[in-house]
Copies of this chain bind each other. A is one copy, B any other.
Amino acid sequence: MNALRLFTRNGRQFLPNVRPMSAKAGPLVDLSVDNEGIATLTMQRLPVNSLNLELIQEIDKGLDEVANNKARGVILTSASSSVFSAGLDIMEMYKPDRKRVEQFWTSLQGLWLKLFGSKFITAAAINGHAPAGGCLLAMSCEYRVMVNGKFTTGLNETALGIVAPRWFMDTMCNTISKRDAEIALTTAKMFTVDEAIKVGLIDETATDKADSIEKCKQFINRFNRIPPLARAFTKQKIRGDALAWLQKNRQADLEEFLTFVTSPKVQQSLEVYLELLKQKSAKK
């Protein structure tokens, strides 16, 4: 029963229950599925898809729905025309409420475990800037297509006085070489599209959002003749050490984050940063 048929005539898994999944999604995420069983999860917390608790939770629920609907894969993208995701929402970290900030970090850990270790296929159509947490989401997928333009991506946490946690680093080292990761992380390097493709931080470029989604679909279709279960376990096994580390160290990782985020120095640097954002915003 519920047999995952390993071989079918056209090499594809039959999808009996495809329906508009967006019905279940909250306001911050749109979720749809095409007639080939490929889901698209669009972040729409405008203007910049800052990852606050609610957006993280909605993406997480969206991934559950992708799994429950037995979609073959999901494409992560943005409703903004210039930003994929700006990363973690500073407001979750500035003068935080203890209980909420704990929930915030725990939810982020959970989302990463689900996305990085998902059985279904994952691809990112990066249609805008993707710094910090935005880059993390993209790197957690199995494939990355980035729209040509002035967009940049990278783990630039140090520029804000923040140390990327170990699982951010592991995610980057799953994508690019250790050497490139060290230089990128310490210098807070934001890669242009050309630089990103050169080091392997992205896999392909696209002319626009539609093209990036099309190329993500082509990637997902590479698996049409691969038995899904063997594919899923193979992915989880090669990503296993990184996944196991966070599963084993969630509490310690949370405490490190809390100690860090509540320190006067970090609060001070967040205040400076927010002041800069306010000035920038006022000039417009």
Cα separation A159 to B159 with both chains bound (whole Å): 44
Question: Across the two chains, which residue of chain B brings its CB closest to A182?
Answer: B238
Contacts of A178 in B (CB 8 A): 173-174, 238
Q: Could you tell me if B234 and A185 are in contact, using CB atoms closer than 8 angstroms?
A: yes
The reply on A265 being an interface residue by CB < 8 A is: yes
Residues of B within 8 Å of A185, CB to CB, are 234, 238
Contact status B158-A7, CB under 8 Å: no
Residue from the set A6, A158, A159, A166 with the largest chain B CB neighbour count within 10 Å: A158
The answer to whether A158 touches B230 (Cβ under 8 A) is yes
Determine whether A161 belongs to the interface, using a CB cutoff of 8 Å to chain B.
Answer: yes
How far, in Å, is A154 (CB) from chain B's closest CB? 13
Contact present for A268 and B161 (CB under 8 Å): no
Inside 8 A of A229's CB, which chain B residues have their CB?
Answer: 161, 265
A47 at the interface (CB under 8 A from B): no
For chain A, residues 136 to 182, give those with C-beta under 8 angstroms from any C-beta of chain B. Answer: 142, 157-164, 166, 169, 173-179, 181-182
Query: Given A6-B268, A237-B169, are A175 and B186 neighbors across the interface (CB < 8 Å)?
Result: no
The number of residues on chain A lying at the interface, defined by a beta carbon within 8 Å of a beta carbon of chain B, is 49
Contact of A235 among B179, B182, B268, B272 (CB under 8 A): B182
Contacts of A272 in B (CB 8 A): 6-7
The winner among A159, A183, A234 for most chain B CB atoms within 10 A is A234
Whether A182 lies near B239 (C-beta < 8 A) is yes
Known: A7-B269, A175-B179, A186-B234. 6 other contacts (CB 8 A): A6-B269, A163-B237, A169-B237, A174-B182, A176-B179, A186-B235
Query: 17 interchain pairs (CB within 8 A)?
Result: A3-B265, A4-B265, A157-B234, A159-B226, A161-B230, A163-B230, A163-B233, A169-B238, A173-B178, A174-B179, A176-B179, A179-B200, A182-B238, A182-B239, A185-B238, A186-B226, A186-B231
